[in-house]
Amino acid sequence: MRVKSSERGRDALAGLHVVVNAGPTYEDIDPVRFLGNRSSGKMGFAIAEAASLAGAAVTLVAGPVALATPAKVALRVDVRSARQMRDAVLEAVRGADVFIATAAVADWRVATYSSRKLKKGARGAPVLELVENPDILAEVAALDRRPFVVGFAAETERLAERAREKLVHKKLDMLVANLVDEHVGIGADDNAVELFWPGGSEALPRASKLEIATALVARIAQRFRDRSRA
C-alpha cells in the first residue's frame, strides 16, 4: 500500500494528546518463568511514531519489547505486567484526547506467584491456577471523561463478526482488526487490517506497519474531528 499525500498530514493531530500502549505483557510465574505472547510491539511503536509525526504529543506505554523509542514521542513508560500497564494507562489518559490500544495484554496471570523457582519432581508438572487480568480497553472506554478510544483485535477466524461484537460490547469509537498467522501480523514487519466504527468499515491492504500506521492515524484524526463536530 502506498500512503497517499493526503494521509501524510503533519498537523492532523496537532494540539492533541495521544496515548498508545504497545507490546505484550509478561505475567511472572516464578523468578525465571512467565506467561507471555508473541507480540513484538512493532505495530504500536509505528502508530506512536505516525501520531507524533501528525503533530500529537504522544505518551507510549510499552510492555517488554526490544524497540527504540520513536524520535518524536514525548514520553515512554515501560511496564511488564498487565496490572502495571493498567496503572500506567489510567494515569496517562487523564485529560488525553485519544487512546489507541495496540498492546497484546495477557488475559490471565497466575493466582499465586512463586518466589522460588518451581522444580521438577516426582509429582510431575505443577498445576497453575489462573485468574483474569483487568480489561484495560473496556475500563478506559467506560470512563466518564473518556478519550476517543481505538481498540485492536487479532483474530484467527470470523474477523468481521468478532470485530463488530467487540466494537459494540466495549463501546469503542473504532476497532482495528487483523487475521494473524506466521506470515503477517504478530511479530512481522508488515500487516493488513480492517477498520470498523459505528456505521462503517474500511480495509487497509497489506503494507509495512509504518504505512498502515500512517493511514490509520489519518482515519483516526478524521473520525475524531467528526465526533467533535457532532
Contact criterion met (CB below 8 Å) for 152 and 213:
no
Closest CA to 217 of 76, 29, 14: 14
Residue 27, beta-bridge partner list: 35
Taking the CA atoms of 157, 161, 162 and 164 in sequence, report the sign of the dihedral they define. Answer: positive
Contact criterion met (CB below 8 Å) for 209 and 186:
no
- Those residues whose C-beta lies under 8 Å from the C-beta of residue 102, and which sit 6 or more positions away, are 20, 21, 22, 43, 44, 47, 152, 176
Check 21, 37, 133, 178 and give the catalytic one. 37
φ and ψ at residue 223, rounded to 5 degrees: -65, -35
Would you call 37 a catalytic residue per the annotation? yes
Which residues have a catalytic role annotated? 37
